[in-house]
Each structure stands twice: as structure tokens, then as C-alpha cells.
Amino acid sequence: MRERAVDLLKRVGLKEFLRHRPGELSGGQRQRVAVVRALINRPGLLLADEPTGSLDRDASENIADLLVELNRSEQVTLIVVTHSLELAQRVGHIMELSDGVLRDGSR
């Protein structure tokens, strides 16, 4: 598990923060650590609510790359709630909630 945690932290650009406590991290760094924590045990399903919401563009792309890669390589099913059109376009199927109505947005 430690090896996987270090690998995932490296992939999200946080390997040098391995020994830091949460209070020593920025909000964006904490968000990336939360994604890593969710992935350490190789879940079959990952529910992600705004996983890139407080991240800058580079960190957002990094997290999106990781999620899409793990979806493909480890067969992790992703259910992602996001306002980010860029992130939504990278997933396989899009459902859009608008005015209380859920629509197929993959068209």
C-alpha cells in the first residue's frame, strides 16, 4: 500500500509532501491527497464530487489524466459530478442535470 500511495502522490505532483501534515498543505494539495486516498485500495467504483474544483489548470489536468488512466487500466468505474466541461468531456458518458431534469448529454 505504501508503494502505491507514493506512486499516486508522485503522479499528482505531491511526492515531496509525503511527510507533511494536512495543516501544512494548501486546499488544492489537500484535494489531490483526497483523490489519492480514494484510489489507494484500488476501488471498483469511485464517486467524485468536483475532484478538480479548487485546482489550477495544471493540477486539474493531472487529476483528470489520472482518473481517466485508472478507469482504463484498472477498470475503475467513475461517477464524476463536475461543472468543468473539460473534465466532463474526458469521461465516457455524460448525463446533464438542468432545471431539475436529468438528460443524456453524450449526444
Determine the pLDDT at residue 3. 93
Cβ atoms of 1 and 40 within 8 Å: the answer is yes
Determine the pLDDT at residue 93. 87
For 37-96, write each residue's pLDDT tens digit: 999 999 999 999 999 888 889 889 888 988 898 889 889 999 999 988 888 888 878 898
- Rounded to a whole number, what is the distance in angstroms from the first to the last CA of the chain? 40
Instruction: Sort 98 into a burial class: Cβ within 10 Å, 0-12 / 13-18 / 19+.
Output: exposed
Tell me the three cell numbers of residue 36.
489519492
For residue 9, name the pLDDT band (cuts at 50, 70, 90): very high
Q: What is the CATH number of domain 2-81?
A: 3.40.50.300
Given a cut of 60, is residue 107 above it in pLDDT?
no
For residue 101, name the pLDDT band (cuts at 50, 70, 90): very high
